[in-house]
Amino acid sequence: MPSITTQQGWSSYLSYHHCGHGLCGSHLLRELTFIVDANGYAWARNMKRLLQESCVNVSKSPEKCLTDSAWVNLQKRYRNILTRGEKELPPIPPKPSGKRGKLAKSDAHNLHERLRAYESAVLLFANDPHVSFTNNRAERDLRMAKVKQKVSGCFRVEVYAHAYCRISSYLQTMANKGYNPLIAIQMAIAGDLDWVGGE
């Protein structure tokens, strides 16, 4: 079975074709809340409610996914909300002649288009028990690498970047198992990892 990434909508993630993709529900709810507060669109309010209800239903399910009938109903409601949203959104003005580049669209238009284009990724959490509704844990794991990149700049040699990623991954794995980082480093240096399932 291919691995699945739950992500917040970065287009660069979608270039990875060797795995499935699930969009982070927390980020979508945040965007929908902003659109409701800024524009008061009913479709955004209804979509937010639908995603929240689905998340609760999935978490209560012993299989951590919806039944076939519930899944079909979710897809139907999801598409109906987007169809009504098309009528609620104002028309996009035509691109001025002679102007280059993409036409700027509102946040509401962009989110509506993303929800329509990536329906399977948005609703994957309800159909696959291995996919969580949110990517908060994965985002926390990536945050330190982004902080290092912003503060210290890029690595000068690729091998050092690989070493940083490997060490960070090891420490995060051990933290998830309940080990203090200093103890985890001591265990790695001593080669005492077999009994915790280390690599």
Task: Give helix 42-60 / helix 68-88 axis angle, nearest 10°.
Answer: 170
* Model pLDDT for residues 38-82, shown as the tens digit of each residue: 999 999 999 999 999 999 999 999 999 999 999 999 999 999 999
* Model pLDDT for residues 74-93, shown as the tens digit of each residue: 999 999 999 999 999 988 87
- What residues contact residue 74 under an 8 Å CB cut-off, 6+ apart? 50, 54, 66, 123, 126
Q: Tell me what pLDDT residue 99 has.
A: 72
pTM above 0.75, yes or no: no
Q: Tell me what pLDDT residue 93 has.
A: 76
Residue ranges of domains in the chain:
4-93+104-135, 155-196
77 close to 50: Cβ distance less than 8 angstroms:
yes
Task: Tell me which long-range contacts 3-8 makes (C-beta under 8 A, separation of at least 24).
Answer: 4/124, 4/128, 4/130, 4/131, 5/135, 5/138, 6/125, 6/131, 6/132, 6/134, 6/135, 6/138, 7/135, 7/138, 8/135, 8/139
* Model pLDDT for residues 126-139, shown as the tens digit of each residue: 999 988 898 766 66
Check residues 196 and 145 and name the one with the higher pLDDT: 145
